[in-house]
Structure 1
Amino acid sequence: MSRIAEIAAALAGYDPKALSVDGVQAFLASLVAPAVVREGESVPLFEALGRVLAEDVISPFNVPPHDNSAMDGFAFDGALLETPPPELTLRVAGTALAGAAWRGTLATGDALRIMTGAVMPAGLDTVVPQEFCSIDGDCVRFPANALRRGDNRRFAGEDLKQGRPALLQGERISPAALGLLASLGLPAVAVLRRLRVAYFSTGDEILSLGDAPREGAVYDSNRYTVFGLLTRLGCEVVDLGMVRDNPAALAAALHDAAGRADVIITSGGVSVGEADHTRAVMQQLGDMAFWRVAMRPGRPMAVGLIPRAPRAGPAVLFGLPGNPVAVMVTFLAFVRPALLQLMGCNAANAAPPPLLRARSVAAIRKKPGRTEYQRGRVTSVPGALPEVRIAGNQGSGVLSSMVEGNGLVVLHHAQDSVAPGDEVDVMMFDGVM
């Protein structure tokens, strides 16, 4: 039994002519599991942004390495607050600066002027902010009820404990994670190699940039949106350009892509059309499934495995629709989570970002039985849920509405029409593309 047939047999209610969005996501999670990237390499921190950790990062020491002050002020023994007078007056014995331990001597009841980040000397456990204080010669005075014992002190290891994982295998390195790695004194980090993705557009009606316009033809936008989506995701991209709807050319392009990449993405030619050879060539070369997904836009879709060198395992193929918006929607809904899984991300990092809950400004027509993704524009409302309104023409070929919108209103499979004021889910573009 082929891998595609095996997954289909195990998927409850599988119907390639009316596959739900949830069904597609479950199918793809099973399909890509054996092809996850395993090979690692070490890269400098400045090259690590967006990469996936190949192993846990263990903290070699406590961060911070010592108790220190959380702000500028005066450090003192917090025991003085246990039975305090209304106001405390303490002698200032010196000043502790960040970057070096204070080496002076403290008498009982002394305070120490201290800067943010400076080491807390032994016996001192509380810091009063300087704005609470008044200075009189070598004494500091402040109201005793302004704080509690231990206030404004950072503990050693409060951020990271020595010997404990600071970051976990499968995490994508964010700007914050870069700073965390630097705080551990690590000049380089072990990451998985980049996922290699080859892509091309198909169709005789497609023009490349620089071609003269002609009647009935359109310029290829899909290559550029797919390039942008893959680059933002951190993939190594292999652009194979545009391939004419010719069986020999299509077969050569798929062989070339399989030899050079882990994943192949095509756009166009996967619906049932007499003039399209893409579907037939894919069936001839690989283990394929062709779907009509219960969604809008983006109904036709193909997935499969294209053979390559025996020891390398097959390349995973995603055949996306030809309409520009459908390409982007199917990429965000299906391909992006699958690619994150293939990149070696752990479950938390491969999961789609949480959907934003917003209130629809206007009515939206919808029938149960399919998932709809409508381009929307979300705006914030002080003290209330954000509002969303539909952005522009919702045709699957109208790319301008993807630019005008800042998210996709997700109308789920069983959901009915939306009335003005109803709450809806929104997949925000910020974070996914």
Structure 2
Amino acid sequence: MDDYDEMCWQHEAVDHVLAAREEFLEDRATSTVPVAEIAGQRLAEPIVAETAQPTIDRATMDGYAFADDDGPLEIVENAVFPETKPPALEAGQAIEIATGAPLPDRADTVVKREDAVVDGGRLQTPDLATGTYVYERGSNVEAGEQLYIAGDRLTALDAVLLRDLGRESVVVTAPLSVAVLATGTEIHEGRHTDLDSPMLCNLVRSWGHSPSYRGSVPDEGDRVERRIAELASEADVVVTTGGTSVGKKDYVIDALESLGDVVFHRVRIRPGKPIAVARLPDHDALAVAIPGKPIGAYVSAALVARPLFTGDRTTPTLERTITHDVGLGPEGFEYAIPVTLEGDDATPLGHVDSPLAVYEETFDPSVLSSSTRAATADGFVLTTDPLDAGARADVIPTDSLE
């Protein structure tokens, strides 16, 4: 089998990444944090609802609670508020109720105050469906329902549900320590600017982990291997940039093969093809080798490596209209075509009619991968087929990858 055939598709690479993640996280240290501090944290264990929620029927509007009785209905005294225990209602009665207050027995519907017709202390029976403006008992969460799985990343919004479940704290996994290492003599000697490492540090941080830039190493095989080994003994994950292809001075893959087990090398995605992931068991670490061209580095990190840090393989999309025809190169690849978005339109960034004139009819991932102007893209279209002007396409927004 030749090297071309050994490349895996993006979804296959993500399968490998998630398997490596699951194995690596099995024995990770955990800590308990209050719900007020959960944003960005990752759960170490699943969360199951112990009881149904809500436990009682509650009003969702200020108004009058009643049952389906013939009216007009007598409005009883003593309105019901969230903190009070409602009186029992008898047939033919209604009661004033506040938002969030528990419904009395028998009552099953609420009419809004502004829609209520009251005359002489009596409520005209509203023509409403049963359950209107009622947050019904057990309608939100069922007892025994699993709401979160281990590895879920929590947001501020999750605090709402967790507190409703009665949780004051949760058990989370400690963030991964990530050492970012640039390779390349031209970078090490200061002749070229390191464009990738700051971007990778920001990506890792946005994924909820703790990156640190650990400098650079020249294109010398023994020094590359030694430096990766040093960092693997200090960090959970080593992320390298550059030196992942098959050139005479590309030593990263050889170093990873010497230090551990390369899970895969090269993915059928352009730009970003020469990415690799490796297990380094002697150091209890993982390694991600990112190609050196900046846009290719971003594509491979965001579309292939991201699930290692997030546990999430999903990539939300927006459907937009492509503004120009875009041809593709050789078959057997998914092409990540950067686009800018304006209204309903997606303009291929790199097309001659865009602010970055890199190609005319056929997408050129090689040149575009080096173009820093492509960093202004609003998203990417991941496709194996040429794009037709006027056709609808799914765009992966860049902000959904961070």
Give 2:322's match in structure 1, choosing from 344, 347, 360.
360
Structure 1 residues 54 and 119, CA, compared in 2 at 3 Å: closer, same or farther? same
Residues 39-48 or 197-206, more deviating: 39-48
Alpha-carbon distance in structure 1 between the residues aligned to 2:8 and 2:221: 28
Cα distance in 2 for partners of 1:193, 1:48 equals 12
User: In 2, are the aligned partners of 1:258 and 1:264 still within 8 Å (CA)?
Assistant: yes
Partner residue, 2:135: 154
The answer for the alignment partner of 1:195 in structure 2 is 176
Q: Is the 8 A contact 2:260 2:282 kept in 1?
A: no
Cα RMSD after superposing both structures: 2.8
Structure 1 position 119 matched with structure 2 position 102: yes
SS in 2 for 1:197: strand
What is the percent sequence identity of the aligned residues? 25
What does residue 57 of structure 2 align with? 67
Q: Residues 6-48 of structure 1, C-alpha deviation per residue, up to 9 Å, x if partnerless?
A: xxx9xxx984665443443344445555323443321122332
Write the distance in 2 (CA, Å) between the matches of 1:224 and 1:16.
Answer: 33
Q: Which one of the candidate residues 365, 378, 383 is aligned to 1:406?
A: 378
Show CA shifts across 1:76-133 (max 9, x none). Answer: 12233xxxxxxx4333213111222234x64532211111111101121111112222
Distance 1:229 1:137 in 2: 66
For the pair 1:109 / 2:92, whether they are aligned, the reply is yes
- 1:184-233 CA deviation, whole Å, 9 max, x = no partner? 2322101223233222111122279xxxxx7xx33222111111111111
Q: Provide the rounded CA distance (Å) in 2 between the counterparts of 1:75 and 1:240.
A: 65
Extract unaligned runs of 5+ from structure 2: 350-354, 359-367
Asked whether the 8 Å contact 1:78–1:148 carries over to 2, the reply is: no
Letter in 1 for 2:303: A
**Residue 96 (structure 1) aligns with:** 80
> Judging changes above 3 Å, is the alpha-carbon distance between structure 1 residues 203 and 46 closer, same or farther for their aligned structure 2 residues?
farther
Counterparts of 1:269-280 in structure 2, within 5 Å, are 269-280=243-254
Distance verdict in 2 for CA 1:207–1:254, change over 3 Å: closer
Tell me by how many angstroms 1:60 deviates: 4.0
Aligned length: 384
Task: Return the match for 2:303 from 310, 328, 333.
Answer: 333
Which residues of 2 match residues 191-230 of structure 1 at below 5 A? 191-206=172-187, 217-230=191-204
Deviation at residue 163 of structure 1 after TM alignment = 4.6
- What is the TM-score with the length of structure 2 in the denominator? 0.85
- The CA deviation at 1:179 is 1.3
What's the secondary structure of 2:163's corresponding residue?
helix
Measure how far apart 1:330 and its partner are: 0.2
2:370 is the counterpart of 1:397: yes
Tell me the equivalent position of 1:371: 334
The Cα of 1:181 is off from its aligned counterpart by: 0.8
Q: Deviations over 1:370-420 (max 9, x none)?
A: 21111112344xxxxx43111343611223322x222111122xx2x2221
Residue aligning to 2:346: 388
The DSSP-based 3-state class of the residue aligned with 1:330 is: helix
Partner of 2:286: 316
Q: CA deviation at 1:284?
A: 3.4
Question: Using a 3 Å threshold, how does the CA distance of structure 1 residues 121 and 26 change in structure 2: closer, same or farther?
Answer: closer
Match of 2:361 in 1: none
Q: Are the aligned partners of 1:238 and 1:261 in contact in 2 as well (CA < 8 Å)? A: no
CA contact (8 A) 2:320 2:392 kept: yes
Whichever residue aligns with residue 431 of structure 1, its letter is S
User: Mean alpha-carbon deviation: is it higher for 65-74 or for 324-333?
Assistant: 65-74
| Gapped regions of structure 1 (runs ≥ 5) | 1-8, 81-87, 209-213, 342-349, 381-385
For the Cα contact (< 8 Å) 1:301–1:320, is it kept in 2? yes
Change (3 A) 1:355 1:107: closer
Aligned counterparts of 2:124 and 2:315: Cα–Cα separation in 1: 50
- Would the aligned equivalents of 2:188 and 2:218 in 1 still touch at CA under 8 Å? no
Distance in 1 between residues matched to 2:140 and 2:278, nearest whole Å: 45
TM-superposed CA distance for 1:150, in Å, is 2.8
1:21 aligns with 2:24: no
Q: Is the 8 A contact 2:89 2:107 kept in 1?
A: no
Distance 2:237 2:34 in 1: 26
- Kindly indicate whether the alpha-carbon contact (under 8 Å) linking 2:153 and 2:310 is maintained by their aligned counterparts in 1: no
C-alpha distance in 2 between matches for 1:231 and 1:223: 12
Q: 2:146 aligns with which of 165, 179, 199?
A: 165
Query: Are 2:35 and 1:51 aligned?
Result: no
Q: Indicate whether 1:182 and 2:158 are aligned.
A: no
Q: Does 1:420 align with 2:380?
A: no
Q: TM-score with structure 1 length normalisation? A: 0.79
Q: C-alpha deviations, 1:260-293, integer Å up to 9, x for none?
A: 2232210011223334444443343333377444
CA contact (8 A) 2:47 2:149 kept: yes
Task: Find the aligned partners of 1:335 and 1:62 in 2 and give their Cα distance.
Answer: 38
* Deviation (angstroms), 1:359: 2.0
Q: Which amino acid aligns with 1:400?
A: R
Contact 1:37–1:195 (CA<8 Å) still a contact in 2? no
Matched, 1:285 2:259: yes
